[in-house]
Structure 1
């Protein structure tokens, strides 16, 4: 099994059960950053996977998220939503809904993104509808 050459973890992984471990297992090198601005300013290469841990709904601004997604349009990106963020798909539009997963789904989504990276799965577009997200996350 191959691994992502470079993965970034942005934000606090505390309370994000299994997220940090899943990234460590799926990447050869992992860089960690406290926030999006720090990651963008450090920019230690082109990441193959970006995992953003979001602890509360207004932790990241629309401008920060847009800049991240515009700077790395081809990078597989996942926003892991903590318990305080469970309604983000309904009440906020900072992140594209296709990028948001709950903590419990993070490990399997990261594995699916690795399958995409390896060419074994069709990528989920950032613009995917919720039905497409469900199909991607629940496919065998």
Structure 2
């Protein structure tokens, strides 16, 4: 799985003019996507990393300060732009695979104690945020799921 984390002062997601998820205090906006080989193990690993990563003010983690998260599904994180002018989405898992994985990510975060707001899977969403820093990083379970050498 892949995620973009943005440290925010506040963030919200709107669908058809209605706010469906929002955080009104410092926390993280998490844009998350899945690929074909992902499963519940990757969702749980990603949740652990997000919850415990020390990227908030004062090198704190969300778990340290009970910071809220807004999780928004985003298949475009798996865009392949190596050829031509039109991205390929073939690396992104189809909806019937990725929707349960995004739900598993959210469930795993909640099991860890996180307050999680969400968008609506597959909907055309408008995401509004105030990036604090600005601070934006990317995570990919492929990068931290493998044992380190040396």
When the two structures are superposed, what TM-score results if normalisation uses the length of structure 2?
Answer: 0.30
When the two structures are superposed, what TM-score results if normalisation uses the length of structure 1?
Answer: 0.32
**Which protein shows a greater Rg?**
2
Instruction: Report which of the two has the higher share of strand.
Output: 2
Instruction: Report which of the two has the higher share of helix.
Output: 1
